[in-house]
Structure 1
């Protein structure tokens, strides 16, 4: 689904998870979270600023800190994608 994001749109954010342990496991693996677009890069509409809604609170991921880039596969930590249709 290729569409241009705009402020206020709901997207899915993929968290990074915790660093890998020496055995390759993670305490918290990457997870998909609800997010809302707060700003769109005027030079790259696939890079956005987000507010991410976690079970324990909100996380702000602004453009000034690098923002979040589109990953349509939904696998890259720190990326966003459109919600899956169910």
Structure 2
């Protein structure tokens, strides 16, 4: 997969923690990147959009566990396709 660089304003998934006893499972939520702390390490600040409101979270690491962010499937597919595509000939 090609490398996607986090930038301010992009929409990503934020994985909610869920509850300790499992009443609520971790879920993907939409989030907007509000600051990039370390692009190489995938550490960003985000605004998470929930059905009942929003909250801000700082220094969020990239990953697929609760409390982390990740790229959406279409973003991953787009990065993958752009890496494998043949360059266009120059006219």
Normalised by the length of structure 1, the TM-score is 0.77
CA distance in 2, matches of 1:70, 1:57: 23
CA distance in 2, matches of 1:50, 1:27: 25
Q: Which aligned runs of 4 or more in structure 1 are off by greater than 2 angstroms?
A: none
Q: Name the structure where helix makes up a greater proportion of residues.
A: 2
Are 1:53 and 2:53 an aligned pair?
A: no
Normalised by the length of structure 2, the TM-score is 0.73
CA drift of 1:54 comes to 0.5
CA drift of 1:58 comes to 0.2
Q: Who wins on radius of gyration, i.e. which is larger?
A: 2
CA RMSD in angstroms comes to 1.4
CA drift of 1:80 comes to 0.6
Tell me, which stretches of 5 or more residues in structure 2 are unaligned? Answer: 78-91
